[in-house]
Amino acid sequence: MPRTLAFLRAINVGGRTVRMDELRRLFAELGLSSVETFIASGNVIFESRPGSEAALAKRIEKHLAAHLGFDVATFLRSDREVAEIALRRPFEAAEHARAGAFCVGFLAAAPSATARAELSRLESANDRFHVHGREVYWLCRTGQGESDFSNALFEKKCGVRATFRSMTTVAKLAAKYPPGK
C-alpha cells in the first residue's frame, strides 16, 4: 500500500495539545495502517489504499475535528513527494548557507495568481519566497522569531490554508521514510 505523510496545521501550538498516541489512534480509526507520528508537531505517516488524496484529506479533517473539537487543516504528500521536497533548494547556495531558517509551506493546491501576487508583497529584506507546485519555500535571513512573516499572516494575506515545516524536519522525514521502502 502507498505510504503517505500528513502534515497537520495547529497541532500542539496555541493550547491545542494532542498526545501522539491519541493522534495515531484517530488515524487508525479511519482504517489507515502502519500509523506513526514524527515529533509532536502534527506529522503523521501511514499507509492506505490508493484513492483520491483530496477526499482522504477531507475525511481526516472531519474525523479530527469531531474528536478534537477544533479544525485541523490536513496536507497530504506521498513519500516520493516528500523526498523531492527535501532536496529542492530554490535559492542561491550562498543564501542557503547564510539563512537563519529555511522552511516549506504545504498547501492543498498550487496557489492562484492572486495568492502568488500577495505572497510577493510579503517579501522583505529578511524573507524570500519561492512557489513550486503545492509548496511555498521560505528563506528567512535572520530567524523565524525575528521575522514578521508567519503561517497566520500567509493565510490571511494570501487566502490559502497552509502549514509550514522546517526543512530540517522534512529532510529527516524523507530519510526515515524513503520512497518505496
Q: Identify the bridge partners of residue 102 per DSSP, sorted by sequence position.
A: 139
Residue ranges of the chain with per-residue pLDDT less than 50: none
Per-residue pLDDT, 49:
87
State residue 44 phi and psi, 5-degree precision: -125, 135
Domain boundary among 55, 82, 109: 82
**pLDDT one-digit tens code per residue, 96-129:** 999 999 999 999 999 999 999 999 999 999 999 9
Domain boundary among 82, 104, 136: 82
168, 92: one domain = yes
Q: What is the pTM of this model?
A: 0.94
| CB 129 within 8 Å of CB 120 | yes
Domain that holds residue 104: 87-176
State residue 39 phi and psi, 5-degree precision: 45, 160
Q: Rounded to an integer, what distance in angstroms lies between the CA atom of residue 164 and that of residue 181? A: 25
In a domain, 181, yes or no: no
CATH number assigned to the domain comprising residue 54? 3.30.70.1280
**Alpha-carbon torsion, ordered 22, 28, 34, 36, to 10 deg:** -20
Cα 119 to Cα 15, 108, 157, distances in angstroms = 28, 16, 8
49, 100: one domain = no
Tell me 110's DSSP state. Answer: P
Q: Please, how many CA atoms are within 13 Å of residue 71, restricted to the half-sphere of its CB?
A: 6
End-to-end CA distance of the chain: 11
Per-residue pLDDT, 44:
97
**pLDDT one-digit tens code per residue, 120-144:** 999 999 999 999 999 999 999 998 9
60, 121: one domain = no
